[in-house]
Amino acid sequence: MRKLSLLTFLTFLFTNLLFAQIQFNSENINVTKSDLKKNTFEQDTTANAIVLYEFGNAYIDDDTFDLVFEYKKKIKILNREGFKYSNVSVRLYNSDRNKEKIEKIKGSTTNLVNGKIKRINLESSQIFEDKIDENNTLVKFTLPDIKEGSVITYTYELRTPFIYKYQPWYFQEDIPKLYSEYITSIPGNYDYNIKLVGDLKLKTHDMSLDKYCIEVNNGGSAHCTVAKYIMTDISAFREESYMRAASNYLSRIEYELKTINKFDGTVDNITKSWETADRELKTDQDFGRQLKKSSLVKKLIPEDEISKQNSSLKKAKLIYDYVKNNYTWNHKHRVFKDISVKDVIDEKSGNTAEINLLLYNLLNTHDLKANPILLSTRDHGVVTKLFPVISEFNYLIIKLEIEGKNYFLDATDKDLVFGQIPFKCLNDYGREIDFDNGSKWIDLEPQTKSSIYQKSDITINDDYTFNATINIQSLGYKALDIKREFNKNNQKYKDYYIQAFPDFTFENIDVVIDEATLEVNETLTFSGPVNVIGNKVYFDPFIFKNFTENPLKLQERSYPVDFGYEDMYTNRIKIFFSDDFVINDISKENTKQLPQSSALSIFKSKENNGLAEFYFKANFYEKSYHHLFYKDLKSFFDNLVDLQSNSILVLEKKS
């Protein structure tokens, strides 16, 4: 028995050591038995699939001068949630005269069945084309015979005549990658802006020279710069609360063609300067010419109404309110296409640019200094400052200057107030278009403070009930959210409180909105039972909580926590009770501060005869926090949730 037990133990130990040594093959696209046997990924237990190997090679064909992109990928499917990664689609673009082509598509699914490797190849009949519109087509295929534990591989070659934007390379996606390699060969007569985006670091960045990689009939030739980029052990990119567009943070390489030095000696400038872009915008039918429509707007507002205003600011507010209240946004974000101030006047409806350019024309017609600002919304990505890329802008607002002070205006949203732009526009900066003095970058900072201030007066009665009056003051974007919901359906908004607190009896729910300052004041009067155990009353001082759960849930985060604006929460709570009660227990002081004093929370309690007081404050002094602060910020939120969920006042009834 001792020998058998020892043999069993040694077999068990050897088997475990063997399995511990099983590693995925991330050196090439070949599927090995270890790829099939290993069905876990210890580095990220939440992963549904893993990219084991990825390879790309991009170069200019010296015969056709097309950009050729060769692609290979191997993925391990860990569970059923990972089956979706067997669906592959490649977008092809075509213009009137040129089009992209995809060739040499190959794919296979490999499984381990009864200890034997079984491979099924992708058939040509399983490859489909789906035309999206006149310029875009999707080539789609699904790898066959997918199971938990499958390994899929596919390769293809993409040919494109559109070389102005060299094939970008995304190292990061929503599943982990073990190995990602990209090789580029760029002829010396093609000059690209090359941009490495994201915080992840390259493991390899090698450069070499391939002489005479391109030769043409007239004797012209060019050398190619060959670059090799490698990243390994790449974490998955997962979206979470308080972030802007994922495209801002995904680790990748992007290219933008600046110039082509042709073999005949001429130079083709592809990337323009802002001076050139300004000149083109000035004469553009859908932009520059729409800034000169004073004859159309002159009589929209009666002159006597304008003349009644005894200051430039009052005149500007009158014009802003007129546009906001009389023209409806059609929810289209067009900036450079189908823009007509005349159409928006006639139809009383228009896209972002039309409505705000109407506002621009009215302001300037009435001698107010205004300029358009082009920007990209938070979900659209950050605009590059290196050179003009007009396609990166998707929104337009107006900057008004009065007595040296700037006001940002957007008349598309009827809930906004003068000087406030939508939250979606808080994306760092925009480009102010001024054809007289030249365009320039301008910071887009919130012009109003955002905060919630809560004041509670609560009385605990001898019959184990309570009465409460709570006043909630909301400012800035906090108030805008409430105003939007309240204006949509004010009864539904009030019903939220009634449904959320079914044990309470609400005597009054009053909501007052100051349209000029965007301040919302809510007053709630209600009563309810208290929690009693024996002769003790257990009372939660935070009836209406600001923090019920931590919005930060990832183990790690490689991009900033972006609130968009500085934030502040304050609670002042007074709880009154009769001489029949004494305080048995009360939550004690708690103060937390983030590094560099970037956030602060304070909780204090005080007890007197017949009165318990609580003070809570949470200040976020930054609108955005670097990802290196993530763990500290996550802990900070945990503390806020704990304070508002577990603070307690215990009263004991005298015998």
Three-class SS of 372-397: EEEECCCCCCCCCCCCCCHHHCCEEE
User: How far apart, in Å, do the first and last CA atoms of the chain sit?
Assistant: 71
Q: Which of 159, 192, 176, 203 is nearest to 40 (CA)?
A: 176
Contacts of 242 (CB under 8 A, 6+ apart): 551, 552, 561, 562, 563
> Residue 73's closest CA among 32, 31, 123?
31
Q: Could you identify the residue written with the tokens 């004494």?
A: 582
For residue 292, the SS3 value is coil
Q: Determine the pLDDT at residue 389.
A: 87
Query: What is the structure's pLDDT at 448?
Result: 81
Q: What pLDDT score does 568 carry?
A: 97
- Report the candidate in 92, 224, 239, 229 with the shortest Cα–Cα distance to residue 170: 229
The pLDDT tens digits for 60-106 are 998 888 999 999 999 999 999 999 999 999 999 988 788 999 999 99
Hey, is 62 helix, strand or coil?
Answer: coil
DSSP state of 367: T
pLDDT at 215: 83
Residue with tokens 């640019």: 353
Nearest to 370 by CA among 383, 360, 381: 360
Phi, psi of 610 (to 5 degrees): 75, 10
Write the CB contacts of 496 (distance below 8 Å, at least 6 apart in sequence).
Answer: none
Is the Cβ–Cβ distance between 599 and 582 less than 8 Å? Answer: no
In this prediction the pTM is: 0.85
Residues 309 and 363: their CA atoms lie apart, in Å, by 14
- CA-CA distance, 306 to 322, in Å (whole number)? 11
For the chain, list the domains and their CATH numbers. Answer: 22-268 (2.60.40.3140), 274-443 (3.10.620.30), 451-653 (2.60.120.1130)
DSSP 496: H
Low-confidence ranges of the chain (pLDDT < 70): 1-21
**Bridge partners, 156 (sequence order):** 71
